[in-house]
A = this chain, B = another copy of it.
């Protein structure tokens, strides 16, 4: 983009995966975050702001254990203990709920917004600093709670102009429960889990057949992935063992609770998917934008310390790509000696004002669309 990037002595200005957000995107991202946080607040989710750095024990327990390899660590010269730069905010919110807010009434509704940092990006998501915002609903274990959180994500995205969001529900505990019920262990279990992970239907069918009765449902449930109504019908029809049946019934309750809140929402259900939900204990969900905008957020049921919880994270960088670009503000040039109260009125009316600081300042060169003459903003003619 600039010569500096081509300078062989200075191969990159910034480390891979770390970047500057420039105008107007930085302002748009901040506006999206605050608009979504306002939706959370309107439903009683109160904001907390944990620090970016804390002792690694705090960051890497509970749901944080999954992110240990992705957490930057550094020595605290004050305490001589290792600290981590957070790679996720959920473990910090769990810590707050279990300590300083232990005495607060349940269900406890909390929200957060901030940056997370990761040691390495992935091929799909090369960023190593990611904005993140979300909610945690702590101390309640019910389908209503799951539905409240998932619906909140849809409402927050709608508030920033992202309509037509689709919700994909997964049941990360279903496959392990079926493998347990089939008594599968060791290499046989590992092979079947890998085939499920790859969605290799032929291999799942072959291995499940060998494994016997309850594993056979894996083939059916793999095929049942799709619109929620069809998937739920398949789950109802299958004579599942006890634990898988409980998981299936819970999924049906969550979908029903969501339908009551958002009758028009597109819901899909993939009963045997479990990728990327390493700490979820119940229904998990992913929010997708329309078209090719991809994943906008993710959440689900988990354990927050000793308590039942449901959480949701939204990705403002993805929302930025998916949301409509607002109109550029009108920019008014204020010549030397202008009337300051007229300029203040224009700012209150939504204009951006650019004051002349020297005779060299040029209205059009500075991107102004208008100029203040007397008390009026006069459009500049385009040349």
- Which of A114-122, A167-175, A200-208, A212-220 contacts the other chain? A114-122
Contact of A43 among B92, B101, B347 (CB under 8 A): B347
The yes or no answer to A292 lying at the interface (CB within 8 A) is no
- Which of A222-230, A236-244, A353-361 contacts the other chain? A353-361
Contact of A144 among B49, B105, B107, B357 (CB under 8 A): B357
Contact B23 A48 (CB under 8 A): yes
- Which of A9-17, A274-282, A296-304 contacts the other chain? A9-17
Kindly list chain B residues whose C-beta atoms are within 8 Å of the C-beta of A101.
Answer: 22
Contact B358 A140 (CB under 8 A): yes
Kindly list chain B residues whose C-beta atoms are within 8 Å of the C-beta of A26.
Answer: 46-49, 112
Which of A331, A351, A355, A357 has the most B CB atoms < 10 Å from its CB? A357
Contact of A357 among B54, B55, B83, B140 (CB under 8 A): B140
Contact A51 B19 (CB under 8 A): yes
Contact of A77 among B23, B74, B119 (CB under 8 A): B119
Contact B358 A144 (CB under 8 A): yes
Kindly list chain B residues whose C-beta atoms are within 8 Å of the C-beta of A358.
Answer: 140, 142, 144
Contact A22 B34 (CB under 8 A): no
Contact A53 B357 (CB under 8 A): no
CB within 8 Å of B: which of A93-126?
95-96, 99-102, 105, 107, 109-110, 112-115, 117, 119-120
Q: So how many copies of this chain end up in the complex?
A: 2
The yes or no answer to A188 lying at the interface (CB within 8 A) is no
Interface string of A235-267 (1 = CB under 8 A from B): 000000000000000000000000001000000
The yes or no answer to A81 lying at the interface (CB within 8 A) is yes
Contact A357 B142 (CB under 8 A): yes
The residue in chain B whose Cβ has the minimal distance to the Cβ of A112 is B26
Contact of A53 among B18, B73, B261, B331 (CB under 8 A): B18
Q: Which residues of A contact B (CB under 8 A)?
A: 1-2, 4, 12-24, 26-27, 29-30, 34, 37, 41-44, 46-55, 58, 72-74, 76-79, 81, 83, 85, 92, 95-96, 99-102, 105, 107, 109-110, 112-115, 117, 119-120, 128-129, 140, 142, 144-145, 148, 261, 331, 340, 347, 351-355, 357-358, 361-362, 365-367
